Amino acid sequence: MNWSGVMPAMTTAFDAKDRVDGEFMSRHATWMVDNGCTALIMLGSLGEAATLSAEEKVGILKNMVSAEGFVAFEHALQQSRSLWDRF
C-alpha cells in the first residue's frame, strides 16, 4: 500500500434512531474520494472501537468497500483476527 496523500479519519454517521447510517456514509466516502482523498480510515480514531458491535463494524467495512472498492483499514481491523475472519 502506498501511504501517501490525504487519508482522513472518517466519522461514523448515525441516523435519528442511533443506527449506523450506511447510506450517508457511502455518499460521504464517495465525495471524499472524488475530492482527492487517497484512502479513508475508519473504526478507531473517534471512539467507535469501544462503542460499536462487531456486526456494526463489519457492516460499515462491507459498505465502504461496496461504495469505493478500496479502503485503508484502521489498525483495529488489521489486528483483530476474529473480526477480520468475519469480514
Residue 84 pLDDT exceeds 60: no
Q: Which residues pair with 9 in a beta bridge?
A: 41
Residue 75 pLDDT exceeds 50: no
- Tens of pLDDT along 3-16? 778 888 888 999 99
CA 17, 25, 58, 71: dihedral to nearest 10 degrees?
-170
Q: Is residue 48 exposed (0-12), middle (13-18) or buried (19+ Cβ within 10 Å)? A: buried
Residue 60 pLDDT exceeds 50: yes
Dig out the grid coordinates for 20 from the structure: 449506523
Record the pTM.
Answer: 0.71
User: What pLDDT shows up at residue 21?
Assistant: 95
Q: Which residues pair with 30 in a beta bridge?
A: none
- Tens of pLDDT along 16-59? 999 999 999 988 988 888 898 887 888 866 777 788 888 898 88
